[in-house]
Amino acid sequence: MPARPPFKQFADDLDATLSLLVGALRGTRPPDNAFPNLREDHNRLVAIGDPHTERYALVNVEADRMTNSLNTLREQILGWSRGISDKS
């Protein structure tokens, strides 16, 4: 199946999120509004699917898992980096 148009945006936003997190681990504190809204991207992905078929069900489930994982990772990394900078 061809990728749905919102999937490209989702993939680009995953990449941007990972890049921002790498920067945070290397000491650059990105502003919170720099992070893309992965949940919004996921919601667009789910909304565009064909309700009469299950062809995109696996992609939707895995995209949800990636969204949850990266949002949690962001919270953890930013919380950790705040703790480090508070001790300086």
Over residues 22-75, the pLDDT tens digits come to 999 999 988 879 999 999 999 999 898 665 567 788 889 999 999 999 999 999
User: What's the rounded Cα separation, in Å, for the pair 17 and 14?
Assistant: 5
pLDDT: is 2 or 15 the higher one? 15
Task: For residue 68, give the 3-state DSSP assignment.
Answer: helix
Domain with 19 in it: 5-25+34-79
Nearest Cα residue to 39 out of 77, 61, 3, 10: 10
Rg (CA), the chain: 15
- What is the tally of structural domains in the chain? 1
Look up the pTM and report it. Answer: 0.85
| Residue 60 domain flag | yes
Predicted local confidence at residue 85, as pLDDT: 59
| Residue 84 domain flag | no
| Residue 88 domain flag | no
Q: Residue 55, by phi and psi: left (phi above 0), alpha (psi -120 to 50) or beta?
A: alpha
